[in-house]
Chains A and B, each alone.
Chain A
């Protein structure tokens, strides 16, 4: 125990440092990670040696989502991505090779079958669903085949699906 002036200074010191710590240690609860993970894919054709070659789609549409109400227009690009359903183990997407045509022979339907696993992200973001592709089925008007390149879909930029289209 000290004299009065020293005690006052000590109090001041203690309060200032205490407030400093309190202000510096506030909780951070901002979510910076997406909950919905996207499946990524690319379009390919077979070359004469039967190797997969990147192919640019001129003007195609990829329809997905509930009632196929979402679509991705693929104009002079070969890559696409869309999320899988977190409530079902299968999704169906429609590939329209020419966005200006509804002719049946220009449209294919492919189905992806997968397993789901709930994954905790953080207190701020909650949960996300990780997927593992198990099978891919397709009609064959324009699409030759659908290959699973990397089955596990997590928060990365890998290409999970290869869609081989006919020349």
Chain B
């Protein structure tokens, strides 16, 4: 099943390469039992033996291409058992609003914690290529600097003023789903999409930060985002 999905995804990209995935599989060495004629893999031994840590390249690229925000986001996950991973994202970011009506800066750090559940079984020992869905709780600590505003009025004249700096604590929930694959030994790439919603949206009704690292646009109570991670894995594969 996994290979059918992978093949479909590859056809979508227009790749002419057709592969026989089975040829590349490493045979399952041991630790199997025969149940009604079907070999089923069993996992034994300690959990949390394989960890991946990586960086979101999409944020590195998008931060370099525009000046509205400058964000670094990292991910770590650890394989628990069967189809479950514990995952965490963390990072930091600065954002700038500078237009005809507003000018202010913001800074935030964040951490989000949750679980990923993969769709497909392992084809061979240590196979971590998979599609997944996940759930996260996110926490962001935000400092918005003093903001200058201007109200344009051609009749009575323009008005200007200052809004004092403010600290926010943001809580959000997010659903995520995507795909991760091992490019070369212990080096993984993967993308995912995310749907997020603030748990405490009222905090952001008055002059929110324009961009919150880990969440996205601070002026939206819910939004969609994406990540493109490169990860390094270490530990013992099961």
Please report A residues at the B interface, Cβ cutoff 8 Å. 1-3, 5-14, 16-18, 21-22, 25, 27, 29, 31, 35-36, 64-66, 70, 82-88, 91, 118, 120, 122-129
Partner of A3, one of B23, B102, B210, B224: B23
Least Cβ distance of A45 to chain B in Å?
28
Please report B residues at the A interface, Cβ cutoff 8 Å. 6, 9-10, 12-13, 15, 17, 19, 21, 23-24, 57-58, 61-62, 66, 68, 97, 99-102, 129, 149-157, 159, 161, 179, 181-185, 189-191, 193, 205-208, 210, 217, 219, 224-226, 228
**Are the CB atoms of B155 and A11 closer together than 8 Å?**
no
**Are the CB atoms of A18 and B152 closer together than 8 Å?**
no
Instruction: Name A's interface SS.
Output: mixed
- Chain A residues near B9 (CB-CB < 8 A): 13
Q: How many A-B residue pairs have CB under 8 A?
A: 140
6 contacting pairs across A/B (C-beta < 8 A)? A2-B21, A9-B13, A11-B183, A123-B97, A125-B101, A126-B151
- The 10 A-B residue pairs with the shortest CB-CB distance in the complex, in nearest-first order: A126-B101, A21-B226, A85-B156, A18-B228, A3-B24, A6-B19, A9-B15, A1-B182, A65-B155, A126-B102
- Chain B residues near A124 (CB-CB < 8 A): 99, 101
Kindly state the separation between the CA atoms of A59 and B6 in the bound complex, as whole angstroms: 75
Kindly state the separation between the CA atoms of A107 and B217 in the bound complex, as whole angstroms: 53
**Are the CB atoms of A127 and B151 closer together than 8 Å?**
yes
**Are the CB atoms of B228 and A25 closer together than 8 Å?**
no
**Are the CB atoms of A66 and B156 closer together than 8 Å?**
yes
**Are the CB atoms of A27 and B15 closer together than 8 Å?**
no
Least Cβ distance of B33 to chain A in Å?
26
**Are the CB atoms of A129 and B226 closer together than 8 Å?**
no
**Are the CB atoms of A21 and B191 closer together than 8 Å?**
yes
Kindly state the separation between the CA atoms of A36 and B155 in the bound complex, as whole angstroms: 9
